[in-house]
Structure 1
Amino acid sequence: MLTEKVHIAVPTAFFEDESLNVQGTISHIRDLYKQGVKSILVSGTTGEQHSLNLQEKMAIINGLELEEELIRNMEIIFGVASIRQKEAEELAEKIRHTKISGIMLGFSPYVIPTQEEALVYTKRIIHLSNKPTILYNNPKRTGFDLSEKSIIHLSKIDLVIGIKDAGNKEKVERIKKGLHRNDFYFYAGGEVDLEEKVLHGYNRLSSIAGNVFPAEISQWFQKLLMQQKVSKQESEKIANIMEQVYQGNAIVNVKKTINRKGIPIGICRSPIGNSST
């Protein structure tokens, strides 16, 4: 089961020609591990997932499997989603036979399945991966919004441990009323409006800013969960972090900071990172 309250959604490293850099990705994960990070999400929520083809995702998994210390000591969650179900199934089968801790299951972008079609897709991927699963609902990126009825239905599957970005306050409240278990978690996607989301019932974090400020973000989130007072100094520090990460394109900003540390995370795949200057 996935026990960490915070995981960091790590960006994927690319060379200057936009080809995949597996070792650059792993170098960043190693650096986070040295800083005490216990859980990461790979090929997930940084917006790069759907730019990766199936072979590239497989290559990242193969690279991770060689990192015995990381696999043994970290919760490694892998993002599984594809516009084609068959490719997501192949990826899920691959993950089943690894020591990867769990999956974040996203929905096909653009095609907008029905709720029934999405349920069939979800159950098939969970069955094939046989891993603890976080559902990932992201209508802004995919055009598809998993309904509260569907979420409650899927929550009855033991392997489904939670959902990322379930929706607004009212939707979360309706889901909570329909749940028949206490160990179902609500993950906030990134730090924007995090205080408000915690008040609405979100109790776990899929962090973007944690790529560059892991300790500060984790401590802040723990205080929010515990309803502890955040000092003026801490609030100013968090405001500064939010400005550094989220002013403009967050993934571009994060990669620039990581590259400055000497870790070869590289560029983003265009059009992300395009600039007129």
Structure 2
Amino acid sequence: MMLKEKIHIAVPTAFFNDESLNVQGTLDHIRDLYKQGVKSVLVSGSTGEQHSLNLKEKIALLNGILSEDELINNMEIIFGVSSIKQKEAEELAKRIANTNIAGILLGYPPYILPTQEEAVVYSQAIINQSNKPTILYNNPKRTGFDLSVESIIRLSEIELVIGLKEAGNEEKVERVKKDVKRNNFYFYVGGEVNIEDKVLQGFDRLSSIAGNISPVVISQWFDKLLTKQKITEQEREKIDLIIEQVYQGTPLVNLKQLINQKGIPIGICRSPIGNTLN
């Protein structure tokens, strides 16, 4: 059990204009990425929408994906699992267990500030229920909770834990690398900001946001960074333009605008994201 792909695309969740979940719109976008050659996506995970989805919505999204034979059999689909209520995260993990979902991204609950021990027990409980390859996701800026190096090393002893998506202190990666006693443990960059520096620090996989718009360009760029190949002037211009389109302002709002322009009904963000002063 392994996640083979070096890059996955963190896809936004589609919503109708009344902010209700649009499973079909989400699948339309994943199908479009698949047609462009994308081999792996992360659903109900990144782009910050996960905590706005309730358990029922997450299960509806999961069932929608499981009904798409071509996608689920040919793509490496990772599902984001996290909840302020551990019991709900466990319930979702249990439903993922006997499916073709390739792995889970395990995030930590926002606001409630668990202790390190509480977070480790939370992680173990969810991993046990899902029985899938797991990427730990540490994002203290968004959750207020910071998974310690010690906790990461402890969790890395579980065979199913295959990597870390670290959005906090990048220097942590060097320390974890030194102490994790396995070759098959990966470090995921979350998004494209400062990606060159992060690759130099030892990050070796990518959870991509800009890949929602230009998967081929982003994937080739990341490959070149990993293999230390020179980026041409022309490539650099193309990359800069994509990064500017996605990251100037609120990335999620920009992403959805650009995807909607392609005729894919990804819809709006849930407010307050997307609010503007009239």
Task: With the length of structure 2 as denominator, give the TM-score of the two structures.
Answer: 0.98
Q: Which amino acid aligns with 2:253?
A: V
Equivalent residue, structure 1, for 2:36: 35
Q: CA deviation at 1:233?
A: 1.2
Q: Which amino acid aligns with 2:93?
A: A
CA contact (8 A) 1:132 1:161 kept: yes
2:84 is matched with which residue? 83
User: Cα deviation per residue 1:133-179 (whole Å; 9 max; x = unaligned)?
Assistant: 00000001100000011111111111000000164343211111111
1:144 and 2:166 are equivalent in the alignment: no
What is the CA–CA distance in structure 1 between the aligned matches of 2:10 and 2:172, rounded to whole Å?
24
Instruction: Give the aligned residue type for 2:264.
Output: I
Unaligned runs of 5+ residues in structure 2 are none
Structure 1 residues 215 and 14: alpha-carbon distance in aligned structure 2, compared to 1, 3 A threshold: same
Q: Give the residue type in structure 1 aligned to 2:275.
A: N
Could you tell me which residue of structure 1 aligns to residue 21 of structure 2? 20
SS of corresponding position for 2:28: helix
Shift of 1:236: 1.3
What's the C-alpha RMSD, in Å, of the aligned pairs? 0.8
The 8 Å contact of residues 81 and 89 in structure 2, kept in 1 or not, is answered as yes
Report the 3-state secondary structure (helix = DSSP H, G, I; strand = E; otherwise coil) of the residue aligned with 1:109.
coil
Matched, 1:50 2:51: yes
Segments of 5+ residues of structure 1 without an aligned counterpart are: none
Tell me the matched-pair count: 277
The answer on whether the counterparts of 2:141 and 2:168 sit within 8 Å (CA) in structure 1 is: no
Amino acid at match of 1:162: G
How far off its partner does 1:99 sit?
A: 1.1
**Aligned to 1:134, what secondary structure does the other structure show?**
strand
In the alignment, the residues of structure 2 paired with residue 195 and residue 5 of structure 1 have an alpha-carbon distance, to the nearest angstrom, of 15
Q: Are 2:66 and 1:65 equivalent residues in the alignment?
A: yes
Sequence identity of aligned pairs in percent? 71
Q: What SS class does the counterpart of residue 206 from structure 1 fall into?
A: strand
Q: Does 2:274 match 1:273? A: yes
Equivalent residue letter for 2:200: L
User: How far does residue 237 in structure 1 lie from its aligned partner after superposition?
Assistant: 1.1
Residue 204 of structure 1 pairs with residue 205 of structure 2: yes
TM-score, L = length of structure 1: 0.99
Match of 2:243 in 1: 242
Divergent runs of 4+, >4 A: none
- Spell out, residue by residue over 1:7-36, the C-alpha distance to the aligned partner (whole angstroms, 9 max, x if none): 000000000000000000000000000000
The one-letter amino acid paired with 1:268 is: C
